[in-house]
Each structure stands twice: as structure tokens, then as C-alpha cells.
Structure 1
Amino acid sequence: MNVQITQIIRASICCLLLILATSCSQESAEKSATASPKAAKVTATSKATTEALTNRRIPAKVVRVVDGDTMKVSYTEGGKVREETIRLLLVDTPESVDPEKPVQPFAIEASNYAKKMLTDKDVQLELDVSERDKYGRLLCYLYIGDKMFNELLLENGYARVAYVYPPNVKYVDQFRDIQKKAQQKGVNIWSVENYAQEDGFHEGAASGKPSPSATAVAKSGAAATAAPKAGVSYNSCAEARAAGVSQIRRGEPGYSAKLDGDNDGVACE
């Protein structure tokens, strides 16, 4: 009799444990089913927020054009006016202000085009995923009216597609399509064979040909005079320009940090 009772008790305990296990399993499944839509919703919301931030356009004003692909802008944030140096994404124009490089062909044209289109103009900035480069400059796509200026540079042959670094590749495919059309037309940087290449601009390809940039500088009178004499100094850029001097590079006579407002190594640009 005792053995039979013991077996009945054991059987009852096993049934009870089985019922509890089944109940817990169902509860866990219900929680998982409930949590899954929430998790999906959170993921979707996070993705939407990221897209909204990268698609948002920031109203700004161009304070100064440094060269074809670099500008200084001002904008209001939290009630305060801020100033930033911006670098246009996915494009590269020839150098006109790099203290370690000569003025490259079509650099002056690209810079003058940017100055004409953007100086003192209201613009909009669109960011991509990564906001800044190693120099701290704000990376962006710049809009003037309903036109993207990055595209205008490519369309007119003032820039090549360059510095393609994921994740900032939002418009790279359409930029390459625009560049291809400019190449086919042979406009500006594409008018000199092998000048604009994947790894940059090659001045040697333009040797023996008149430099459009040099011609443009000579016509404008900017930086076309002889370098200042040793020991000369200027109290202001206005004084330097009155003497026929501009774009004084670091290390040259007449250069001083007080005349180089953006500390890029070139004073009185």
C-alpha cells in the first residue's frame, strides 16, 4: 500500500511540474511576441530619426568663399550665431590657396565661380552620416535656391568626384553621372587630357599650354604683382591690396597671422 501511495504522489508531482513548465513556456512566448513588435518599432523609429537628421537642411549664409570647394558660413543655433568652415562632400576643385602647392590650372576659375554664386548668399546645408573631417570642417552638400552647388561644380567642369569615403556616399552615383557628361563635353578641367585623374590634378599634363588660371589672375590684377620686398609689413589687407599685393603665403615677406583670419596659411585672400 505504501509503495502504491508513493507512486501516486510521484506521478502527481510530475504532472504538476509538467503543467508549470508548460505555463512558463507559454508566458515566455507571449512576452516575446509582445516585445518583438515594440523592438521593431524602436528600430524603425531610430532609423527614421537618423534619416531625418541627414535629410534636414540647415539655413545658413556664406560669409566668405575660401576656394572652389571650401567656404565659411554663419548660421543660428540655440539663438546664437555661429560660424563654421564647410567642405563640400564628394567633390574636389583645383588648389588655389594651398601654401604647399602652386595655383593649379582652373583653380582661379573655380574659386571665382564659387564667389560669384555664393558670396553673401543665403544657402542651405545638408549633412551626410559623418559630420566633420580630420580638420574639423563641417562636411555637407550645399544648396543655393533649388540647385545643389556640389552638382553645379561638377556640371561646369570645375570639380571632379573625389574623397569618396563611406558612409558619406549618399549622392556619389548621381555625381559620377554628372561628371561623365562634363567629361564628354570636355569642359574646363576636362579640356586638358590627363589633368584631372582619380588621384588628383596633374599640373604636368597642362605643361606647354597657357594656364587659364594665370590668365584670369593677370586680367583681374589679383596677385599679379611681384612678391613684397623682404622686411615689408602691412597693417591691414586693404593696405596690402593698395600696394598691389594679395594672397600672401606663410613664409613670404609681408605675411602675418593677423592678416590670415582663417589661419589657412594664406593672408589677404
Structure 2
Amino acid sequence: MLIDSHCHLDRLDLKAYAGGVDEALEAARAAGVGRFLTVSVDLETFPILRDLAERHADVYASVGVHPSEALPPEAEPTADVLVGLANHPRVIAIGESGLDYYYHPEHKEVQQRRFAAHIEASRRTGKPLIVHTRDARADTIGLLRECRAEQGILHCFTEDWDTAKAGIDLGFYVSLSGIVSFANAESLRDVARQLPLDRLLIETDSPYLAPVPYRGKKNEPRYLPAVAEAVAKARGITAEVVAEATTRNFNTLFGLPS
């Protein structure tokens, strides 16, 4: 079994499934994907994710606001708001949150305050934190340390080994997406080779970043086996070993039965 540790089920291109997310999930199950974490990027659409998780025993949800979301000050998520929304048995994670200086370097202070609120919510709920970081590796690790983050995932990882090692030392897992299969991603494959197997996760981040051989298409959870195969090839192991390890790691992190 494979587990998609990060997907956005509310954003999938469902034209091939007559607009039905249930059919997209069935296609993924047929491809060997047995669990899904559908990840929140804003609070407006969070109820959709929560409802999906309530309807499907193999779907779980997170709650959080992406660093690139533009919000008026009065709408910024507080730790109290996040903790309240996370008080649901199908909500197993806080995020995604973090820092993205690639698109919005002018909003660093806002992003940092938002990230700190998510870290606090993760600590208070005991639910792992899903971290997005882009062009902000030093500040991301610095805030995780400063705010005493305890557990979570560095998702869709594209940074260097030093950043991965710093996250692992803080108790985090590192999740690789379809980017690891791209021709120009040799540096990321080098990180994939160095990651401890017991700290590795995989994801689609669908509908974004479809792996080879689907690159150029809208991504979806049924393409997760291609990510597992790319990681396996980089490490010189079988895709079955990747599947077993990443499934075990996900269930361990979130306290789920195997």
C-alpha cells in the first residue's frame, strides 16, 4: 500500500471523472494508494476537506492557511482558531503553513507571525505540522527551533541536505513529491539517497507537480506510484521497500493503525 501524505482533493481536475472526487479516489485506490491526507490552504475551503474525510474512511484532513494566502489582518488565523477547527477526529494535522519568499518576499513578517501561530496550534493539539518552505530555508528552520516545534513534515521538499538534516534533528519527516523524478532534479535525488528510510514520506501535492511520465498533466493521487518508483531508483532499492517504509512512517507519525 502507498499513502499520499499531501494532496489537495478539493483542487483536482475532475473532468476525466465527470466531476466526481469519489471516482478520482477509486482510481487512486486501484493504483495501490490506500490512504490520503488532503491538505488545507485556507479556512474557507476547510469544511470541504473535513466533509471529504468524514465520508471516506481512508481520507484524513488538515487545517491551516498557506503562507501565500493574502488575508486582511482581522482574518489572520490565530492559534486559538486553528486549535478549535482541529478538534475533530478526522483532522490529523495542522497546515500547510510555513514561509514562501519566492513569491512574496515583501510579506515576510506576516508569514512569520502566521507560521508561529500554526506551530503553537500544533504544539497545543499534539497534531503534526505540515511545513511549506521556499527560498526561506534559514528562517523556516529558525522559527521551528524558536517556537519549539515538535513534530511534522517538511512537505514537497526541494531544499538541500543540510536543511533536511536540520528538520530531521527537530523530529520532522521529509516528504518527496514528483519533483524527484524531474530530469533537472539531481540535487534532490542526492538528498533522497541520504534521507534515513525511517524519516521518508512521499506525496503527489496534486493537482500540482505531476511526476514523470505524467509531467505536463494535472497531477492526481493515482500517480503516486511513479513518485515511489523515482525515489526507489534514486536510492537503489525497490518500490516495494519505499511503499512499506513510507506507509509505516506515515502511520507512526499520525498514530494510525497499520
Q: Do these two structures clear the TM 0.5 threshold for a shared fold by scoring above it?
A: no
Q: Which has the higher contact order (CA 8 A, sep 6+)?
A: 2
Structure label with greater radius of gyration: 1
- The structure that is helix-richer by fraction is 2
User: How would you bin the TM-score normalised by the shorter chain?
Assistant: under 0.3
